[in-house]
């Protein structure tokens, strides 16, 4: 079935059917007739024909760092919700936290794949990223990192970690920190800077060796907590860069007979669903990830609709959600 048959069955011209599917003006009577035929036949316009006619594919490339991440899934939900509203479909490209693969997908979308725009959930931004981004012939929005001169939506990593650290150090004075690699500017460098600023604001010294690095997994959180104890670091407060790291650290503490929060209080970033059901429930920074994704998609939709759209930035807010893994403030 094609557009000519739809027009014939609806008793209208081919041009009227074309306007109907492209949101042009069609009288209410003719719109109802076409809608009836579409419902009866299940007709869907050819995407290939629309691409040839408009030069638009109706596709958006989304490059994500990890398919099984709670924060990524929330951002993707926000993105796809908006894209569905504006008539775009998503192509997901998972990189498994491989920066070189991110660059490969950027080049793929630039050279071979017909997409109308790209959302990059960035982790590590390198000169190779810069070159690939500069070569993109379509609009780009960076999500989760701040990139000068580019449209981006990012979290207030520094402010959130400072606020979280100040909050937990109201009931502790021997802090330790498990972070991630600082090549990831947002989750690595900015979160660590926020932690240190929170300690300084409380007038609390950070013991040498009290900051260690993990990756984003529960297993690495467990191992990093073990390293802290093997170094002989004395801590009564443990701040972690992610919830997953905190789950591993809490398991390690439990295996050593260290009570949370009586002996060591634990806090993290992410506020995933599991944070509410682990024992004890985890104090964590809540980022508005779904809203972040929606904002990035709206920003991209504006750029795809207007070639002269100006690059802009959105820094998102946060909430510190206090639960049972941290102690009450000292009186």
Residue 103 lies in a domain: yes
Residues 217 and 179 in one domain: yes
Residue 331 lies in a domain: no
Residue 290: closest CA among 5, 61, 82: 82
Residues 169 and 281 in one domain: yes
Residues 138 and 165 in one domain: no
Residues 121 and 215 in one domain: no
Residues 163 and 144 in one domain: no
List, as one string, the DSSP characters of 12-43.
Answer: S-HHHHHHHHTT----HHHHHHHHHHHHHHT-
Residues 151 and 297 in one domain: yes
Residue 167 lies in a domain: yes
Residues 37 and 179 in one domain: no
By residue range, what is the domain housing residue 76?
A: 56-155+289-317
Dihedral, 154, 156, 157, 161 alpha carbons, nearest 10: -160
**Is the pTM of the predicted complex or chain greater than 0.85?**
no
Residue 27: closest CA among 42, 41, 10: 10
Cis before residue 35, ω within 30 degrees of 0?
A: no
Residue 50 lies in a domain: no
> Into how many domains does the chain fold?
3
Residue 325 lies in a domain: no
Residues 145 and 293 in one domain: yes
CATH number of residue 85's parent domain: 3.40.50.2300
Residue 274: closest CA among 304, 302, 247: 247
Task: Report d(CA 160, CA 317) in Å as an integer.
Answer: 8
Mean pLDDT per 10-residue segment, the chain (331 residues): 85 86 82 90 66 65 91 95 92 91 90 84 90 93 94 97 98 97 94 98 96 96 97 97 97 98 97 94 98 97 88 96 90 41
Residues 93 and 107 in one domain: yes
């Amino acid at each position: 079935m094609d557009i000519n048959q739809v027009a014939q069955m609806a008793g209208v011209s081919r041009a009227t059917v074309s306007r109907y599917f492209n949101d042009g003006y069609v009288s209410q009577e003719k719109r109802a007739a076409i809608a009836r035929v579409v419902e009866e036949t299940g007709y869907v316009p050819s995407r290939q024909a629309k691409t040839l006619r408009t030069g638009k594919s109706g596709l958006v490339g989304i490059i994500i760092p990890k398919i099984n991440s709670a924060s990524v899934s929330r951002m993707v939900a926000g993105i796809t919700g908006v894209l569905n509203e504006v008539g775009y479909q998503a192509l997901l490209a998972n990189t498994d936290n491989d920066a070189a693969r991110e660059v490969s997908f950027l080049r793929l979308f630039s050279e071979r794949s017909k997409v109308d725009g790209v959302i990059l959930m960035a982790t590590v931004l390198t000169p190779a990223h810069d070159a690939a981004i500069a070569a993109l012939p379509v609009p780009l929005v960076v999500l989760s990192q701040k990139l000068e001169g580019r449209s981006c939506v990012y979290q207030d990593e520094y402010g959130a970690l400072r606020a979280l650290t100040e909050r937990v150090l109201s009931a502790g004075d021997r802090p330790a920190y498990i972070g991630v690699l600082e090549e990831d500017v947002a989750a690595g460098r900015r979160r660590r800077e926020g932690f240190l600023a929170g300690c300084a604001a409380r007038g609390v010294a950070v013991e040498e060796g009290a900051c260690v690095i993990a990756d984003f997994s529960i297993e690495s959180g467990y191992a990093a907590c073990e390293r802290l104890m093997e170094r002989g670091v004395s801590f009564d407060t443990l701040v972690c860069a992610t919830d997953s790291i905190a789950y591993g650290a809490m398991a390690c503490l439990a295996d050593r007979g260290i009570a949370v929060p009586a002996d060591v209080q634990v806090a993290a970033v992410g506020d995933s669903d599991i944070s509410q059901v682990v024992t004890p429930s985890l104090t964590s920074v809540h980022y508005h990830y779904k809203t972040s994704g929606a904002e990035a998609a709206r920003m991209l939709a504006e750029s795809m609709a207007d070639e002269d759209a100006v690059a802009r930035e959105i820094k998102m807010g946060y909430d510190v959600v206090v639960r049972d893994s941290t102690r009450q403030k000292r009186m």
